A and B are shown apart, each in its own frame.
Chain A
Amino acid sequence: MENITNFDLDTTPLREVNQFLHGDSSKLNGQCVKIQNPNGAHNIAVGLKADVKVAIQGHAGYYAAGMNQLATVVVEGSAGTGVAENMMSGYVHVKGFASNAAGATAQGGLLVIDGDAGLRCGISLKGADIVVGGSVGSFSAFMAQAGNLVILGDAGDALGDSLYEVRIFVRGKVKSLGADCEEKPMDDEAKKILTDLLRKSGHQDVSPDSFKLFGSARTLYNFHVDHAGAY
């Protein structure tokens, strides 16, 4: 039977909860932790390094599940700025909307957002996968370097500005593309990645054929005076 530990942030200080989650990983692995009454507190379940399941039962504040490794963190509400920022591995699921800079600089793992994401979603993404059920704000995937960003809704201005090797899949409309971001043909490899991410994020009923793929035109990799205007 699954070992469940309950915390209530109305009665237990967040520091105590985070210290518990930073405990001996061999003991935490496979455990389930429920956090009641998060009420928008900042830094919930930050810096986890164990294969522990954390359910945040409400709205989380800034930087929830930041720097995550191995853990599964589910926010059963919305999340503030910087959710799953610099995640290394594991799984973070936001059932509501996520504010700005969701998954910023994340290097591994999967971030799933059921609602919309704010501005700069996946900014400087370095290898993680992000699936957004709704739309993303402007400047998303700015300077993103590796990984995949799947957007089931629309994208705001300057999508993928100064992009490196990230794949951006968009089902809705793109308001504008940033410098050096262009639409690319959906090859078999990209389609396979998209299909897999849709399945993992609970969108298996959505057809991968309804997406467009965007990526880097690679004209900004090296400085070329002819491109000066694009910088």
Chain B
Amino acid sequence: MCGIVGLLVKNQSMRANIGGLMMPMLIGMTERGPDSAGMAVFTAPVAANELKYSLYAPSMEFNWKLLVEEFGSHFTNKPKLSTKGNHAIVITSVASQQVKTWLKQSYPNVHLLSVGHSIDVYKDTGLPADVAARYDLPTLSGTHLVGHTRMATESAITPAHAHPFTAGEDWCLVHNGSLSNAHSLRRKLEHEGITFETDNDTEAACRYLEWRMREGDDLKAALEHGFEDLDGFYTLLMGTKTELALVRDPFACKPAVVAEHDDYVAIASEFRSLAHLPDIKNAHVFEPSPKEMYVWKI
């Protein structure tokens, strides 16, 4: 099963409370995904010469200060750090390839969840309410977010297998469904030099679409290629620095409901997750059509 939620807040004054608005959405999808939960939130961008990295450590007691100090002495450039348990956001002007190489060598157990100017990612195993409490998700602020509750059907239940998945910069994907050709897709991408961190089918779709965009497709063209190359049943919800995007497979086998309101656009697998949004009665609620791309800009 799995549940997906997305929220893009148009009303500037509500952006500080995007986490609070999202909470009933995520909790509403608990029955569709009690194994794990995750959230990518797009916040005010860091400076143009900086990037931020969402990191996941294997322990809640991880010594992030030590990591930052070692980073600072290695690059003679002390990064900014904010932490929530085993998650940390590190902001630095050091080039991304250098950061990735250093992390892999110095902290092989630390998992890089996302890179970008705006994106922060939190994801872990457990009931959505527990994951949300663990990382203070109700306190998040930002313009838009993409969330997921997971009921594993095709690969293990681990923090790394939780959604959202990311590839490239400021780009993430959550998925509600199953891809039947994830392994062949993966083999194809591995020939392109793309490496994978899990055997999860969503990671294959995520890296596939990011690869298409790196090859020159815009998001729409990448998804058009996706309709040819992704075999299975899926609703895909994606976040970029400035957009939320949604597609359903040509059979629309996996559910999605959209509520468009003057103040926000909200997306979920089922209406249950939209019911408690403010003034939802005056939103335009509809089911997106199969094989059609929906994009909302901030």
Contact = CB atoms under 8 A, between A and B. Distances in A.
Interface of A: 39-42, 58-59, 61-62, 77-78, 80-81, 96-97, 99-100, 116, 118-119, 137-138
B272 A61 contact: yes
- The B interface, classified by DSSP as helix, strand, loop or mixed, is loop
Contacts of B290: 119, 137-138
Nearest to B275: A39
A30 to B, nearest CB: 30
B271 A59 contact: yes
Contacts of A96: 285
B203 interface: no
B276 A80 contact: no
Contact of B252 (A41, A59, A119): A119
B255 interface: yes
A59 B273 CA distance: 12
Contact of B271 (A80, A100, A137): A80
A119 B254 CA distance: 11
B252 A100 contact: yes
Nearest to A137: B252
Interface string B238-265: 0000000000000110010000000000
Interface residues of B, number: 14
B179 to A, nearest CB: 20
A119 B291 CA distance: 13
Given A78-B285, A97-B287, A119-B290, A61 B251 contact: no
Given A59-B275, A97-B287, 9 more contacts: A39-B272, A39-B276, A40-B273, A42-B272, A59-B271, A62-B270, A78-B271, A118-B287, A137-B290
Interface string B257-298: 000000000000011111110000000011100100000000
B285 A118 contact: no
Contacts of B255: 80-81, 99-100
Contacts of B271: 39-40, 59, 61, 78, 80
Contact of A40 (B251, B252, B270): B270
Contacts of A137: 252, 290
- The A interface, classified by DSSP as helix, strand, loop or mixed, is loop
Contact of B287 (A39, A58, A99, A138): A99
Nearest to A156: B290
Interface of B: 251-252, 255, 270-276, 285-287, 290
Contacts of B272: 39-42, 61
Contacts of A40: 270-275
A81 to B, nearest CB: 7
A156 to B, nearest CB: 9
Contacts of B286: 97
A123 B77 CA distance: 64
Contacts of B287: 97, 99, 116, 118
A97 B289 CA distance: 13
B227 to A, nearest CB: 15
Contacts of A119: 251-252, 290
Nearest to B274: A40
Contacts of B270: 40, 61-62, 80
Nearest to A81: B255
A134 to B, nearest CB: 11
Contacts of A41: 272
A75 to B, nearest CB: 12
B199 to A, nearest CB: 30
Instruction: Report which residue of B272, B274, B276 has the largest number of chain A beta carbons within 10 angstroms of its beta carbon.
Output: B272
A125 to B, nearest CB: 20
B252 A118 contact: yes
Contacts of B252: 100, 118-119, 137
A80 B251 CA distance: 16
27 contacts: A39-B271, A39-B272, A39-B275, A40-B270, A40-B272, A40-B274, A40-B275, A42-B272, A59-B271, A59-B275, A59-B285, A61-B271, A62-B270, A77-B285, A78-B285, A80-B270, A80-B271, A81-B255, A96-B285, A97-B286, A97-B287, A99-B287, A100-B255, A116-B287, A119-B251, A119-B290, A138-B290
Contacts of A62: 270
A3 to B, nearest CB: 28
Nearest to A79: B271
A93 to B, nearest CB: 18
Contacts of A138: 251, 290
